[in-house]
Amino acid sequence: MMGDYDLGVPSIVPYNMGYKLNWEDGVEIIVDKIITKTDFTVWGFITVKDSHQLDSHLLGPIRNNITSTWNSIIKELESNASGRNWADRFKQVTFFVMQEHERGEPIVKLNEMSAPETPTERITGIAYEGMPTLIFGDGGMGKSTLAIALLTMVQAGKPLGESFQVVQGNVLVLDYEASAEEAWRRNNAVVAGMNLDRDAMIHYRFCTSPLATEVEHLKAEIRAKNIDVVLVDSAGPACGGEPENAQACLQYFNALRSLGSTEKPITTITLAHITKGTGGKSGPFGSVYWTNMPRNTFELKKAQKRGENYIDLALHHRKTNTATLQDPVGLRMTWGDGISISAFKVADHAVLSEDLRVGERVFTVLSKEKTGMTIKEIAEYLNITQIDKMTAEMRQDDRFQVDDEGYWSVSDKMRF
């Protein structure tokens, strides 16, 4: 690469969301906020400095296609600082920046790696270190409030009893649905209700653009603020297209994955709305990839009585790639002097235990009844429509007994 003189090879180092190139003759070119568009062109913001000039700042930041020509930039630089071989210099910019940008992660031979540790459970049974979790449910279910409540406990490093642990980490909420004011109210209410320090207030960003278009900027912010956990609320607007479109979904998860690295894995939780599938099954609204791509997927269900100051929620484990499906996670949010959150056993909750076997649900109800219940009363209480099937199962289960008047109860041997 020869022009007015031999440039030599520049040094190139990561800089914010791009790279900085320096030549021994005092020229510095920064290529920042690099993005690859859907047509595979690569764009960035260019800043040029030359320490040999009276005013060292020559140009930028100006947006340019790195994979195209630099004619307009070269023309402007020649008029301000001629004789610096800008044409050959920008050929080097294209070559070295694209080389680094496309390099990606190195290929490794797995038997040459040290044995990795089992992924840490950032939130017991819900979110694993460096892996994506998705929580879906109907609108008005309380997904956003629950997510902020859980992640406030992560920010504080405070567990919900011995069986529900969290690993402390800095939390960032990417909010596509509400506002900073609403997020503050929820976060502040949990801090007050759980008697936490003000350091438990989380990081927040109001979002309008698809995640994939902002990922480079977010990576820099995540590094700068040492973020460990990212909540995306919610999947539809964050994916930047129709949720039913596979490409939009895959682009979203690629962007989500790129927020972290092998050196600094980022735990993510995505909230999504629900769709009713065939056979009575439900799942996240949109493409099947909304179910396939997360490592753990949960369906949120709730039970709430009119006039009560609390809501009972159950996270039902629908899919996992990390271990085995876990029992449902029960969480109660109570509104008083703020919002408090506590864990409970879903099997002990008559309504939210609907994913459990009928016998387990009936046993939970009858174990709390002193006078017994009729088949009709049990079915109505548990919202069971297949009454004959329930009755047949109960007759074959020696945990139950029925008296001459048709009242069912837990058998005497189970009470002692």
Which CATH number does the domain 121-348 belong to among 3.30.930.10, 3.40.50.300, 3.40.50.720, 2.60.40.1730?
3.40.50.300
Containing 103, the helix (H) or strand (E) segment is: none
Answer whether 240's CB lies under 8 Å from 212's CB: yes
Q: Are 313 and 331 in contact (CB under 8 A)?
A: yes
Rounded distance between C-alpha atoms, residue 389 and residue 385, angstroms: 9
- Distance (Å, whole) CA 238 – CA 174: 9
Residue 234's φ and ψ, nearest 5 degrees, are: -140, -175
Question: Alpha-carbon distance 194 to 152, whole Å?
Answer: 10
User: Would you state the structure tokens that stand for residue 123, as one six-digit string?
Assistant: 């939130």
pTM, entire model: 0.71
**Who's near 137: CB < 8 A, 6+ residues apart?**
143, 273, 274, 299, 300, 301, 302
Tokens of 222: 């995540």
CA 321 to chain centre: 16
Tell me which CATH code domain 357-414 carries: 1.10.10.10
Evaluate whether 273 touches 284 at the Cβ level (below 8 Å): yes
String of b and e for 275-305 (b: at least 16 CB within 10 Å)?
eeeeeeeebbbbbebbbebbbbbbbbbbbee
Closest CA to 29 of 42, 12, 17: 12
Rounded Cα distance between 416 and 414, Å, is 6
So what's the pLDDT on residue 4?
55
**What pLDDT, on a 0 to 100 scale, did the predictor assign at position 279?**
43
- Give domain limits for the chain: 11-101, 121-348, 357-414
As a whole number of angstroms, the distance between CA 344 and CA 163 comes to 10
Predicted local confidence at residue 231, as pLDDT = 98
Q: What is the pLDDT along the chain (416 residues), one digit of tens a residue?
A: 334 568 899 999 988 778 999 999 999 999 987 888 878 899 999 999 999 999 999 999 999 999 999 999 999 999 999 999 999 999 999 999 999 988 877 888 999 988 877 778 999 989 999 999 999 998 888 999 999 999 999 999 999 887 789 999 999 999 999 999 999 999 999 999 999 999 999 999 999 999 988 887 898 899 999 999 999 999 999 998 888 888 889 889 988 998 998 888 999 999 999 875 544 456 788 788 898 899 999 999 998 878 889 999 999 888 988 777 888 899 999 999 999 999 998 877 877 877 777 888 888 888 878 789 999 999 988 888 899 999 999 999 988 999 999 999 998 876 54
Q: Which residues, including other chains, have CB under 8 Å from residue 20's CB and lie 6 or more apart?
A: 12, 13, 14, 28, 29, 30, 31
Query: Which amino acid would we find at residue 241?
Result: G
- Please check whether residue 314 is in contact with residue 346, taking contact to mean a CB–CB distance below 8 angstroms: yes
| Burial of 346: CB neighbours in 10 Å, binned 0-12, 13-18, 19+ | buried
CA distance 222 to 177: 21
Handedness of CA 324, 158, 347, 376 (dihedral sign): negative
Edge-first strand listing for the sheet containing 329-336: 203-206, 170-175, 227-233, 267-272, 132-136, 296-303, 310-320, 329-336, 338-344
CA torsion through residues 206, 212, 213, 215, sign: positive
The pLDDT of residue 139 is 86
Q: What is the pLDDT of residue 277?
A: 53
User: Do the first three CATH levels of 121-348 and 357-414 match, i.e. the same topology?
Assistant: no
